[in-house]
Structure 1
Amino acid sequence: MFFYRVILPLPLREPLIYASSRPLSPGSRVVVPLKRRRLVGVILESIPPGTELPEEVREIQDLLDPEPLLSTELLHFLRWCWEYYLCPPGEMVRQAFPPGFFRELKRRIRLSAAGRRALREGRLPQEWSVLTRPRLIRRVLAEGIIPSAGEIERLVREGLLEEVEDQRGLHPPVEEWLEFVGEEPLSEGEEILRRRKRWPRRLLEEEFGREEVRGWISSGRVRRLRLPRLRKGPVLGDLSLPEPDPEQKRVIQEIRQALGQGFRTFLLHGITGSGKTLVYLKVAEEVLAQGKDVLVLVPEIALTPYVEAHLVARFGSQVAVLHSALSAGWRAAEWFRIARGEARVVVGARSAVFAPLRHPGLIVVDEEHEGTYKQSEGLRYQARDLALMRAKFCGATVILGSATPSVKSYFLARKGRYTLLRLHRRPAGRRPPEIQLVVLQRPGEYLTPELIAAMEETLNRGEQVLLFLNRRGYAPVVFCRECGEALECPNCSLTLTYHRRSGILLCHHCGFSQPAFPVCPRCEGTRFRTVGIGTERLEEEIRQRFPGVGVARLDRDSVTSEKRLYDLLLRLRRGEIQIVVGTQMVAQGHDLPGVSLVGVIWAEGGLHLPDFRAAERTFQLLVQVAGRAGRGTSPGRVILQTRLPHHYAVACALKEDYEGFYREELERRKQLGFPPFSRLALLIFSGIRPEKTEEAARRSASFLASLGRVEVLGPAPAPLPRLAGRYRWQVLLRSPRSSALDQTLRAFLREKSRLVPSGISVTLDRDPEELL
């Protein structure tokens, strides 16, 4: 017998041991028993002969993959991840698979052939038609389709129902592909198919027509195959790029010399519009020519169409996309193309760091400073940091690109840990935008005369305007006119945001909503006043001031799908939209050549958050959004409105002075002992009962302090003390050494059951990006 450690999709601290009568490969999925359940697990490693084994070892029941889906390098990387973030192996491995690939195989029921016949003949209730497809038993009972489990057992015995195992989603959706096998192509279409080797029939019929494709098949010059579906990528018009200028050539050459020489990290600090994308593409060409794979991470799903379109224009069907906005079927199809080695270039948001590339040679982290690389719920990993560690495991080159590098990355580059490369100017003689400061004087002022005049001038020249306001909705606060009470979320310590178009009051944290406007919960008043402005209200105001002008909004409320995002970007590029209003989604790397004016409605919006990175995030956001102006042939202009013109984050953004901001911020971090001069870990305690939550946090903080290895700050109520109906307390651990944090956290986890009572959850956030 052969023995293996198998990772299961359960919160177990260690993989379990299973036996097999034949040799199996690590990285393959298998079906194993656990008590009365059947689970899909992943083989981590084989167990050497002579190793002491448990008394009872159950056998692997089935092998799902003829070849391993996860490489040895990726398995080693995932093991490092779960050991660093101190999470169950199954929780970490789940991040590496599409939904449904790694789970329990649950039993379902459906109508048998006899049952379907009885339904057609009217001998069964018509509402049972939903059982023509497999359904979970608990859902059938909850929906009242069948009244009891006993009735289900009776119907199974009678042969009207049958039990089946749910294996949907374990394999990717497939479609018909065509492969040219003739000697010489007889048409342009066959020649194109020969060059592509194989291509989906669906896309060939779109391109050449159904009848012509049928003719290829009937001639015998084309072979039919069943392969995973190929996603059709975005087309965003002309994406031709210029030849690199001397500064870009110098940077490309330096990176090229490091390729294939083992792990190395470059921090590419280039001003906005300096052509960092061109550098990525030229280096990627070299990596692919060397037989290695390329991974490109972007901070927002909204940025993937732009980057994907450039990659597809150069590398065709070798490009795959991974992010959570794709449907489960498309994610599975793209993931399988990567695992099989058919897609060698991957672009995606943070979860793409776990893409099953076979031979990574280059990892690009675009806009590396963005906080969205940090997972804020569940397993709180930092994709930028994991990209560095994955590259270290496989000996790849890393490019961290940004116009406003994170203080941590720039600090490490100045220390010599990374190689610092710079792009100081925009190519083709284009100059950075001119930035004009406008000081807001009156409460409620947001469209100043200076901004309105600049917009009119820009529109008269036939150019586009971008207005930036990092706040969704119509109004962030709603007051009762009769008692002055602000309407709050019943589950959170936050006010409800008014969304006028959908007619609701919405909590942006827990998702609670109610119709607008309700009766005041305090005085039962019915008259309300909205305060503040969001992108929805700004859009409405702009439409009223500029009738007949094309206006669009780019935020999470208006762009709810990949297709809507593509359509909006296409309309922008075609000039159908003259004014775009958006949140930080518009600030992250989009190349909008028609935009010559950027208006920042409220520059200091994020400065007042109780977080040590608030100034850094504000500076980065202002510089990034200002950089959207003047990327085409027209010179750019930025109107920056603020009430805090002398704050160093705003003053440095006004001059695009990164070095000045870095020096000021680094000195403040040093005085306060925050990163990069320390390592942090945040423990968040939450529960329904406030006193029980507080007690758990106090007992835990006392225990952590008694260990004497790290500085313990707290316990204290979280800045957002109540979210989703749960009260929150937090304890912050700080140390100059990561190893001290690791030892302390492991000691806490061993004692957790004694320190933290049932009903209280503890979330570990290692290297937190925010302390809210």
Structure 2
Amino acid sequence: MAISGSPLRSAFSYHYEGELSIGQRVVVDFAGRNVVGYITSISSKPQFKTKPISRPLEKQVYLTPADITLAKWTVENYLAPIGKVFDLFFPPGKLLKSSSFVIPINSELPFSEPLKMSEALKLMGREQILKLKSQRKLKILHSYEKKLPSKRKVKLLKLSLSIKALEDLNLTTIQKKIIDYLLSVEKATPKEVMEALALKSRSPIETLLRRGTIELEEEEEDRSDSSWTIDAIEDLTSEQESVREAIIKDFKGVHYIFGLTGSGKTEVYFKIMERVLNRGKSVSYMVPEVSLTPQLMARIRGAFPGREVRVYHSYMSPAKRQRIWLDAVNDEIDILVGTRSALWIPIQNTGLIIVDEEHDSSFYQQTPPHYDAVEVAIKKGELYGIPVVLGSATPRVERYFRAKAGEFKLHSLLNRPVGQLPDLEIRDLRNSKDYIIPSETLGEIEKTVKLGHQVFVFVHRKGFSNYVVCANCGNILKCPNCDISLTYHKHDSVLKCHYCGYTTPPPSKCERCGSAALSARGFGTERVEHELQKRFPELSIMRMDRETISNPDQYEKALRKIESKDANIIVGTKMIAKGLDFPNIGLVVVIDADRIINLPNYDSAETAFQIISQISGRSGRGVHGKAIIQTFEPEHRVIKTALENDYMGFFETEVEIRKILKYPPFSTFIEIVVEKEKEEQCEKEAWELFNCIQENIKAAEVLEPVVPAVKKLFGKYRMKIHLKLFDREELEKVLKLLQKNPAGVDILVNSNGGSF
């Protein structure tokens, strides 16, 4: 029995008199509380005493034997808590009860009125119902017995006058900004307008409302079923067509599409999807982050009109996630686009899994239970007999190594159907007076905007400055819960911890020496936006980071603003580097490449190459593009290979370095983090665990416990043990050792991007 939510890595034994099935959810008493349990196996009565199962949670068994095997494989390969892995299969909250009805669409059917599913099964049988559904001769709808919470109403501002009428109005500068913003996004809440334009007062909005220039319209808050569509590209290039044919010809196992940015991987995906959908199967389309879904959904709607396309991610309300989960399980969705969580939905009719941008670190879950969703997708494809297609312009080194070794079927797209690869230029910062945006870079930005093109400016961190230091005594203001400096946000005038969320107003003097000589150092997106606004006050500059965009609706509005060319310069973090396709981007600037290269992770060089290549590839898709990489190390191998757009050169060097240092793919790299509220206890338990591992795990290299980059997090002290396994079978021994240890030990296996 796996216990829901438990941090323990062990299963438990219970007994029950009636009939139950493997995969069924039940209610059990665990540590004096009624909790959900998952039946992982059934056996004869053990010799020791067991507690009874209280009752089944549902009659229906949603998990198949393949799902159980997938969960156990994840536990064994990522040393994850078994109960938390099983929790991944279900949406939050108690499942809604539903009744199913079969609705006729075609007049040739033997019934003309909706039938209950039980009646339809007697009349036609399940296979015939599914066949007619795939032919679009009938639909299956579900009626939910539990009343869903009503959707909250929100008031949205919109223009009430025509553009011609607006031209005749006598408007202040701020009022013009409000009008321009509403012209670009169509509708927005007053709060969104104020945040986007940094308004200190709602007064200009109220004035425009009184004059009748704008009006408030009440609408349901949930507007995720957007009507935004992007027309599909019907014809493939000869290169794309040859890749499509090669995949279809051998349509099983794992296929890897290595395609340069802008080479048209998505178009190839769509043609393969079309074949699967026409055979009555559904498609799971995985993306690394929910931020990628608005533009992708618009493209899918344009390519597959009439198909049931849904998106599933953690930003949704629990009720909405349940509805989509039940629809997916009941085979009511043709294309399910989603992040990691969508992978676990136990859909029985899936005919294809696509993993786009497989290299992205967001596919690795950084909170327990840790796992790599790409590897889970590959295993799921194997267990279910589903073809899996992976794609990237900058593959993960381990996966490209496996593809070259023949484990995956490798395909290449080396040409852009539209546009050309951007010119790449290195900006050496060593002799520059301004290390944020030198005058030469500002000149390129100005020239690009004058040509009518847009500019992407990539910054690794958000915020105005990375830390605040006392110039008198050197004290750096840190979070009281985490051993990390607080980031200064000028717009909100607040110091914030980007790990635990702690905030505090900036102090007027140093808490250590009392000096007022506090100085904000370093920079992030907000500081870069501020510098650009000072230099180009007449331009529309938009910032895209987690502070300005916190949900998919806000992200979609930002994308539409870029698409409509209402933003001249877009300053952003990684969310502007991923999978976006805008033809008018003429220049990309990477402000400080060295920050990414020098992160303390074994794969930091790989991450830096990926980010630089991906963000550079956003330009030159419809106009002649250019990318400027600013660095203090222009001779670094990552910079040089990125400059030449030479993934193979980077890959070959990186593989040789990893072979010498025994990093993946030449080992299984495990980070064991011991977390305790008391520093002495943390150190003691870390050394005890280290000694235990050294005694029991032989085919390995075990490094002594060290204090990690972030010594304290969420109020707990941390020590880290690094372990390189040279025989993957040893994972089982490591799991057994960890099962004997209490909670308070976190494990990351082959973490994409590392931990902190």
Asked if 1:267 is matched to 2:246, the reply is no
Displacement after TM superposition at 1:607 (Å): 1.7
Offset from partner CA, 1:288-332 (integer Å, 9 cap, x none): 223333212111121122222223334445222221111212111
Q: Which residue of 2 aligns with 1:323?
A: 313
Find the residue that maps to 1:599 and give its secondary structure. strand
Matches within 5 A, 1:592-603: 592-603=582-593
Q: 2:96 aligns with which of 156, 171, 178?
A: 171
Residue 746 (structure 1) aligned with residue 743 (structure 2): no
The residue type equivalent to 1:267 in the other structure is Y
For 2:420 and 2:381, the matched residues in 1 are separated by: 35
* Amino acid in the other structure paired with 1:350: R
Distance 1:540 1:73 in 2: 53
Distance (whole Å) between structure 1 residues aligned to residue 451 and residue 706 of structure 2: 55
How far residue 53 of structure 1 moved from its aligned partner, in angstroms, is 7.9
**Pairwise CA RMSD:** 2.9
Separation in 1 of the partners of 2:697 and 2:99? 60
Residue 573 of structure 1: how far off its partner (Å): 0.9
Aligned partner of 1:628 in structure 2 is 618
User: Any conservation in 1 of the 2:478–2:484 contact (CA below 8 Å)?
Assistant: yes
Instruction: Give 1:253's match in structure 2, choosing from 240, 245, 256.
Output: 245
Structure with more relative contact order (C-alpha pairs < 8 Å, separation 6 or more): 2
CA 1:54/1:643 → structure 2, altered by over 3 Å: closer, same or farther? same
Distance 1:10 1:674, change over 3 A: closer
Instruction: Pick which of 7-16 and 572-581 moved more.
Output: 7-16
Counterpart residue type for residue 68 of structure 1: V
Question: Mean Cα displacement is larger for which, 174-183 or 606-615?
Answer: 174-183
Distance 1:431 1:688 in 2: 55
Query: CA 1:449–1:333 in 2, change beyond 3 Å: closer, same or farther?
Result: same
Counterpart check, 1:58 vs 2:58: no
The equivalent of 1:236 in structure 2 is 228
Corresponding pairs, count: 649
* 73-82 vs 276-285, greater mean Cα deviation: 73-82
Match of 1:768 in 2: 751
Change (3 A) 1:233 1:657: same
Q: Which amino acid aligns with 1:14?
A: A
Post-superposition CA distance 1:637-691 (Å, at most 9, x none): 1122111110000111111111111111111111111111111222111222222
Secondary structure of the 2:746 match is: strand
Q: What is the correspondence of 1:183-262 to structure 2 with a 5 Å cutoff?
A: 197=139, 232-259=224-251, 261=252
State whether structure 2 residue 63 is matched by structure 1 residue 73.
no
SS at structure 2 position matched to 1:718: coil
State the percentage of identical aligned residues: 33
CA distance in 2, matches of 1:396, 1:648: 39
- 2:378 matched to 1:381? no
Q: In structure 2, what is the equivalent of residue 85 of structure 1? A: 78
CA contact (8 A) 1:6 1:16 kept: no
Deviation of 1:87 (Å): 3.5
- Structure 1 pair 720–417 and aligned structure 2 pair: CA distance change class (3 A): same
Secondary structure in 2 matching 1:765:
strand
Q: Which runs of 5+ in 1 are unaligned?
A: 102-169, 185-193, 204-228, 754-759
Q: State how far apart, in whole Å, the 2-side matches of 1:35 and 1:705 are.
A: 33
Corresponding residue number in structure 2 for 1:285: 274
Cα distance in structure 2, aligned partners of 1:437 and 1:25:
62
TM-score, length-scaled by structure 1: 0.79
Q: In the alignment, is the contact (CA less than 8 A) between 1:18 and 1:60 conserved in 2?
A: no
1:426-437 pair list within 5 angstroms: 426-428=416-418, 430-437=419-426
Q: CA deviation at 1:275?
A: 0.5
Q: 1:96 aligns to what SS in structure 2?
A: coil
- Choose the corresponding residue for 2:666, options 662, 669, 677: 677
SS at match of 1:453: helix
For 1:453-504, what per-residue CA distance to the aligned partner results, in whole angstroms no more than 9, with x for missing partners? 2222221222111111111000112122333322222232321110111111
Quote the Cα distance in structure 2 between the aligned partners of 1:196 and 1:481: 73
Task: Provide closer, same or farther for how the CA distance between residues 525 and 176 of structure 1 changes in structure 2, counting only shifts above 3 A.
Answer: farther
Q: Could you list the per-position Cα deviations for residues 586-639 of structure 1 after superposition, in whole angstroms to 9, with x for gaps in the alignment?
A: 10111122212111111222122222111111111000000000112x111112
Report SS of the residue matched to 1:78. helix
The unaligned stretches of length 5 or more in structure 2 are 109-135, 144-149, 152-220
More moved, 725-734 vs 235-244: 235-244
Secondary structure (helix, strand or coil) at the match of 1:61 reads strand
- Separation in structure 1 between the aligned mates of residue 591 and residue 81 of structure 2, nearest angstrom: 45
**Whole-Å separation in 2 of the counterparts to 1:557 and 1:175:** 42
Following superposition, the deviation at residue 566 of structure 1 comes to 1.0
Report Cα offsets for 1:212-240 as digits up to 9, x if no partner.
Answer: xxxxxxxxxxxxxxxxx998433434332
The structure 1 residue matched to 2:629, chosen from 599, 622, 640, is 640
Instruction: State the one-letter code of the partner of 1:666.
Output: V
Asked if the contact 1:604–1:650 (Cα under 8 Å) also holds between the matched residues in 2, the reply is no
**1:269–1:422 Cα contact (<8 Å) kept:** yes
Q: Which residue of 1 aligns with 2:415?
A: 425
Structure-to-structure mapping, 1:144-543, within 5 angstroms: 170-171=95-96, 197=139, 232-259=224-251, 261=252, 264-315=253-304, 316=306, 318-428=308-418, 430-440=419-429, 441-442=431-432, 444-543=434-533
Residues 1:26 and 1:288: Cα distance change in structure 2 (over 3 Å): farther
8 Å CA contact 1:265, 1:399 repeated in 2: yes
**TM (normalized to structure 2)?**
0.80
